[in-house]
């Protein structure tokens, strides 16, 4: 079945890089997404990658996709305290509606 797994918590020091990992099960995924959720707020689209790509870079964000292992990662360079939030990995399933299947979210805490 469709499932997306993430580690629950990551703590880094300000200025370091953060790497958030995600694994998924559905090989028919078309796009894989990273969303950010700050306390009390909605889901902010950070970046996404098409399943035939293996890397995408967007300013401080780098997404790596290993399709063979069904592993996705999000690297945040020079992590800032404002990056503290919950990060959700999601896959878009190539079925009738391209619904998103979300992971449980990784809470990133950036220590000053």
Partner 1 sequence: EPEVTQTPSHQVTQMGQEVILRCVPISNHLYFYWYRQILGQKVEFLVSFYNNEISEKSEIFDDQFSVERPDGSNFTLKIRSTKLEDSAMYFCASSERGGVGTQPQHFGDGTRLSIL
Q: Which residues bind partner 1 (CB under 8 A)?
A: 30-31, 33, 35, 41-45, 48, 88, 90, 92, 95-105
Under a CB-based contact definition with an 8 Å cutoff, are residues 110 and 81 in contact? Answer: yes
Nearest residue (CB) to partner 1, 23 versus 104: 104
Euclidean distance between CA atoms 65 and 55, whole angstroms = 6
End-to-end CA distance of the chain: 41
By DSSP bridging, strand 9-13 and strand 61-66 are unpaired
Nearest residue (CB) to partner 1, 52 versus 69: 52
Nearest residue (CB) to partner 1, 31 versus 62: 31
Shortest reach from residue 103's CB to partner 1, in Å: 7
Nearest Cα neighbor of 25 from 98, 97, 91 is: 91
Shortest reach from residue 6's CB to partner 1, in Å: 10
Shortest reach from residue 62's CB to partner 1, in Å: 18
């Amino acid at each position: 079945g469709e499932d997306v797994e993430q580690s629950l918590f990551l703590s880094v020091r300000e200025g370091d890089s953060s790497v958030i990992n995600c694994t998924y099960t559905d090989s028919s995924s078309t796009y894989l997404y990273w969303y950010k959720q700050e306390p009390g707020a909605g889901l902010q689209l950070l970046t996404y990658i098409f399943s035939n790509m293996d890397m995408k870079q967007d300013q401080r964000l780098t997404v790596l996709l290993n399709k063979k292992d069904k592993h996705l990662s999000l690297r945040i360079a020079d992590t800032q305290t404002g990056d503290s939030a919950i990060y959700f990995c999601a896959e878009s399933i190539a079925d009738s509606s391209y619904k998103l299947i979300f992971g449980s979210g990784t809470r990133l805490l950036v220590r000053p």
